[in-house]
Amino acid sequence: MKLSIKSIWILSLILFVSLSACKKDDKVNALSCNLETATTEFSEDSILVTYKLESTGDAKVTSFFYYDETGKVEVQNPTLPTEIQVTLTSQKTMQAGAKGNTTNGSIKVSYKATTPNSSYESSDFCSQSNS
């Protein structure tokens, strides 16, 4: 069978269009993370609370908050990872949160407090993978 120039041209065009349609879009949009743990009120006279902020991959954290004896404390562009211990007495709220974004990584915010009779902990997590 003899192919004409017109047939070769049409087959080449079809092959080109087919291969062009297979191009992978490498652009991945960053996932916006707005994290907040559960808010917990404790009844003990005092409690030692450990707040943690952790990240992996390319995650960027723009703000972090937690509660200390004076109330809500907000930190802009925190150092990662961060671990803060505070003793709460008159201020009875435990909560932490963070804002940031990631294209290929994760952000986790948490707190944990233990007394002889009680244990409190909460966390929030945000992740995206583009493998």
Q: What is the CATH number of the domain that holds 116?
A: 2.60.40
Residue 23 lies in a domain: no
- pLDDT score of 35: 98
- SS3 label, residue 23: coil
Residue 64 lies in a domain: yes
- pLDDT score of 117: 86
Residue 12 lies in a domain: no
Residue 45 lies in a domain: yes
Residue 62 lies in a domain: yes
Cβ(71)–Cβ(21) below 8 Å: no
Cβ(115)–Cβ(44) below 8 Å: yes
- pLDDT score of 76: 98
- pLDDT score of 5: 66
Residue 124 lies in a domain: yes
Each residue's pLDDT expressed in tens, for the chain with a length of 131 residues: 555 666 555 656 666 656 555 555 568 898 999 999 999 999 999 999 999 999 999 999 999 999 999 999 999 999 999 999 999 999 999 999 999 999 999 999 999 998 888 899 999 999 999 87
Residue 43 lies in a domain: yes
Domain count, the chain: 1
Residue 21 lies in a domain: no
> What beta strand segments (E) does 1-131 contain?
31-36, 40-41, 47-57, 60-68, 71-76, 82-88, 93-94, 96-102, 105-114, 119-128
- pLDDT score of 53: 98
Cβ(53)–Cβ(59) below 8 Å: no
Distance between CA atoms of residues 96 and 68, nearest Å: 10
**Three-state DSSP string of 38-66:** CCEECCCCCEEEEEEEEEEECCEEEEEEE
Q: What angle do CA 71, 118, 98 make, to 5 degrees?
A: 40
- Which residue range forms the structural domain that includes residue 98? 31-128
